[in-house]
Each structure stands twice: as C-alpha cells, then as structure tokens.
Amino acid sequence: MNINKRKDKVKDQVILALFTAIVLLLAFTPIGLIDLPIIKATILHVPVIIGSVILGPKKGAFLGFVFGLTSIIKNTTAPSILSFAFSPFIPVLGLDKGSPWAVVICFIPRILVGVVPYFVVKGIEKFSKKENKGLRAVGTTVAAVVGAFTNTVLVMGMIYLVFKEPYAAANNIPVETVLTVILGVVGTNGVPEAIAAAVITTPVCFALDKALGKKKTAEVAAGEDIIV
C-alpha cells in the first residue's frame, strides 16, 4: 500500500469514527429530533446517509448497524408502548415474551440506509462521463431522500406485516385501519425527515468532498474493509 492510499485509509477511519460518534450523540440526546409545527422529525439517519455517499456502502452499512443498535438499546432501557417492535427484550402486547422480528426491524432498514444512497449517487452519475458538480448535487439530494424513505417505509412496512394486531392494540385502533395509520405515519414523518436529510446531506457531502480532495471518492472507499 503506497503512502497516499494509507493516508486515504486513515482519513476514512477518522471520518467513520466521527460519524459513529455523531450517530450515538443524536441517538441518546434530544439533538436528534427536529421540532416541527405538528410532529417531531428525527435526523438520526442523516450521518448514515452521508457516510454511505462519502465512505461507500461497507462503512455506510456499519453506521446503519450502529443506528439499529442504538434503537434496540433505547427501546430496551426506556421502553414506550411500541418498543416491542424494536426490542426483542420487550414483550409483545398479548404475549409474555418479545419477538426476534424486532431485531430484523431494527437492523435491516437501518443497514440499507447506509447502502442504498451510495448506489443511488453512482447510478445518477453514470449519466455523465465527465465530472459534473450539478449532477453530483442532484445525485446526493436524491440519495438523501431515498435513504430517508428507505428507513421510514421499511420500518413501518415491517411493523405492519409482523405486528399488525399488537400495533392496533397499542394505538387502540381497529386492525383494519392499521394500514391507513401507517401510511399516514410514512407521510407525516417520512416527508419532513426526507427534506431534512436532503437539506443537510448535500452541503455536508460537498464540503467533505472538497476536504478529502477530488481523487478521494467513495468508489475507492467501497472496496476497503472496516477496521475500527
């Protein structure tokens, strides 16, 4: 490994450690919530999306794993009425034990949040053979929106498929209305979170691109192993 590649790898590890710390900070403090007129939107997915775009899908997946792990920890140590869907240690309503499906809901969508944005950016950039900042900006913005909805849609979709009856009981609603309620959550939470992701992700990615240098791209990072 030459000196330049070694420096790039060290930079990646430093950025990965930094974004891991940011995920933990957002997860365990109120900083991870944005107060909106009607609801609270989370920005916990944003550092995962940025990590995917800048560092590649492997390190993005690692950040997504950390995101999922914080979800299990929070729902286990400070459970709410719906924590059975996010922690296998919290009994499902109507049962005396938790469900392993909670682990799937916590990890699979969040890991994909760290993978999908990278491929969205690369797919859009294939439309141009030359370096194009405008196209890069479009690709990053679209990747942020897709990454945010990947989290919201998959989490709520899995809850509907696996925990429809307990979800209805927890919310004191008829089972037949669960799909409507979940679609409402996807709209009211998913849209603001996607907008927040787009607004934050694009300028941060451009700043990091500039700081890392034009030769250091996620194409290189995509082939590197996680060593932290």
Cα(43)–Cα(144) distance, integer angstroms: 11
Token code pair at residue 94: 């109507």
pLDDT of residue 38: 45
CATH class for the domain made up of 3-152+188-221: mainly alpha
**Does the pLDDT value for residue 221 go beyond 70?**
no
pLDDT of residue 30: 87
pLDDT digits (tens, 9 = 90+) for 138-163: 999 999 999 999 999 999 999 999 99
Residue ranges per structural domain of the chain: 3-152+188-221
Reported as a single tens digit per residue, the pLDDT across 7-26 is 778 888 999 999 999 999 99
Alpha-carbon torsion angle 73, 79, 84, 87, nearest 10? 10
pLDDT of residue 66: 97
Q: Is the pTM of this model over 0.95?
A: no
